[in-house]
Amino acid sequence: MTGALLLAMLIAPAASALACLLVRTPFKPEKLNLAASIVVFAAAVPLTVLSGSGPYRYWDNYIVIDMPGAWIALCTAIVYLLASIYAVGYMRLLAEEAERLWSFYALFSTFALTILLTTVMNNAGLYWIAIELTTLVSTFLVGFERAAESMEAAWKYIVIVSAGISLALLGTILFYWSGSFVLGPVYDMTWDNLQLAAAKMNPLLVGVAYLLVLIGYGTKVGLAPMHTWLPDAHSESPAPVSAMLSGALLNGAMLGIVRYLEICDVSGIGHLARAALVALGVLSLFIGALFIVRQDGVKRLMAYSSVEHMGVVALGFGFGGLFGIAGALYHMLNHSLNKSLMFFGAGNVMRGFGTKEIRSIRGVWTRLPVQGTLWLAGAAAITGAPPFGLFLSELVILRAGLQRAFDWAVYVMILLLMVIFVGFLNHFREMYFDQEPQTETKLLELSRWCVAPMWFALAPLLLFGIWWPHGLWDHFAAISRVLSVGHP
């Protein structure tokens, strides 16, 4: 059963990508991609549920369906579905690219496929390759619009991230090396094997390897100070791609850090590993806060908010324990929903007003009433205001920090979240309530494809803010048991 679902989840986007390459008409590819995203979502939901009785291993142990991976796959599937709906409306607005639209959808499906692959890889080396593939595919999505800015963003993205994850490869090699002292020179580098050998590994070597992996995959996650590619790539790519980058890709890279963290726990350097992750998390919040307060690009604002939220997730996993892990996983889901909503709104506003600069966007509410309301609600949600999901997840992460003797990080986090709350919403105040320079209040038209996914994102976000389903909590508790083997 899980095998069939897994195949469906991976084959659908692959088939869609191939079909897009063959069809090459302007409108069929968007439907193919949408169909693939529906299949992926329909497969990911039961997979997440079934993963509880796993883990299931396939193809000579190279592929695994386990609880943490399946959860990230679910978050990816949600963003992929929402972004595919949104892409139909948004990409039609880019009339000048109509000729190349098939290549966009082919890349988009492939991008989703590569992210999904990262979640099921059971071998540390193959996981690295999957992460590398996400970079290669998404580079061309970032540069899709071919403007000078997009090319610049794409170039910075591929150079910085390639350099970063080459460090992760070095770390991976060192992990293999430290495992070879225990398991012999030739062994399968599965997560299980590494964990099995971890207790007998040399702590110094594991420490060096972990730090390399943390910096490497941290680059991909967008943790400060390795985040520099992120605002450029997120702001210059088409809005559906920004949503995928932020809501799906970053989680996929975080999964690697979490898996290695588990190994460090068993090998007895968990405290160092956690302290490093917490430090990067706090720094990401700090950098996010600084750049959010003084920001003039509307999508860059969202991008720095991603840096901030990845910092929060890093803090959750860094604190660890039931609350930390449950909070971080819940935060991933909520952030995926919320950041998709924010990027969709930003894309609509950008297209409506014809600018990316916050100072030129005025009177959003009068000119785009429905989408304006949704976007404002999303802005309140993303800053962690109740009654939305992120409020709950941040609260749980804060509690985890207090329990786990990371008090200082908790206090800094609270302070920075408040700064971000004020800074972020201040930009929205300007865009919504400041006087317009010109007095025309023409209503802007948006297609339903552009607004519907915002509803689909906001509704569950509100629901998850009011009600944390009991089943979900049990699921998180089970994941936390899986991830806390060596961590009391």
Partner 1 sequence: MLLAHLDPLASSIFSLLAIVSLLLAFVMLGSRWLNNYLYAFGAESWVIAVLSAAIGFYGGYPELYYIAILTVLFRGLLLPYLIWRMLRRLNATLEIHEILQPSSALVVGALSVVFALVVSYRLGLSLGLLGTVTVLAFTVMLSMKLIGFLMLAVRHEAISQVLGLLLLENGMFLGAQMLIPGMPILIEIVILFDLLIVVACFGVLVQLLASHAGSTSSLELKRLIG
Instruction: Name the site residues for partner 1 (rule: CB under 8 A).
Output: 123, 125-126, 129, 132-133, 136, 139-140, 143, 146-156, 158-159, 162-163, 166-167, 169-170, 173, 176-177, 180-181, 184-189, 202, 204-205, 208, 231-232, 235-236, 291, 294-297, 300
Rounded least distance, CB 160 to partner 1, Å: 9
- Planar angle of CA 242, 243, 244, nearest 5 degrees: 90
| Token representation of residue 8 | 């469906």
Beta strands in 82-194 (DSSP E): none
3-state secondary structure of 121: strand
Complex with partner 1: residue 35 or 188, whichever CB lies closer: 188
Q: Supply the minimum distance, in Å, between the C-beta of residue 173 and partner 1.
A: 5
* Comparison of 297 and 311: residue with beta carbon closer to partner 1: 297
Nearer to partner 1, 187 or 365 (CB): 187
CB of 296 to partner 1, least distance (A): 7
Q: Which residues pair with 110 in a beta bridge?
A: none
Token pair listed for 10:
């991976």
Comparing C-alpha atoms, which of 403, 370, 376 is closest to residue 487? 403
Find all residues with CB under 8 Å of 280, minimum gap 6, and list them.
214, 218, 223, 224, 311, 314
Quick one: tokens of 478? 């089970």
Q: How far is CA 367 from CA 364, 370, 374, 440, 444, in A?
A: 5, 9, 13, 9, 6
Burial 318-338 (b: 16+ CB within 10 A, else e): bbbbbbbbbbbbbbbbbbbbb
CB of 5 to partner 1, least distance (A): 25
**Quick one: 59 or 411, whose CB is closer to partner 1?**
59
The nearer residue to partner 1, 202 or 373, going by C-beta atoms, is 202
* Min CB(13)–partner 1 separation in Å: 18
Residue 149 or 192 having the CB closest to partner 1: 149
Least distance to partner 1, CB of residue 35, Å: 27
Residue 116 to residue 46: CA distance in whole angstroms = 15
- The residue among 300, 337, 242, 262 whose CA lies nearest residue 424 is 300
End-to-end alpha carbon distance in the chain: 34
Between 87 and 153, name the residue whose CB sits nearer to partner 1.
Answer: 153
Query: In the complex with partner 1, which residue's Cβ is closer, 42 or 208?
Result: 208
Contact indicator for 172, 124 with CB cutoff of 8 Å: yes
CB of 227 to partner 1, least distance (A): 13
Residue type, 51: S
Measured from the CB atom, the residue of 228 and 484 that comes closer to partner 1 is 228
- β pairing state of 56-58 and 63-65: antiparallel
Minimum distance, C-beta of residue 316 to partner 1, in the bound complex (Å): 28
**Number of other residues whose CB lies within 10 A of the CB of residue 408:** 11
CB of 138 to partner 1, least distance (A): 11
Q: Which residues pair with 65 in a beta bridge?
A: 56
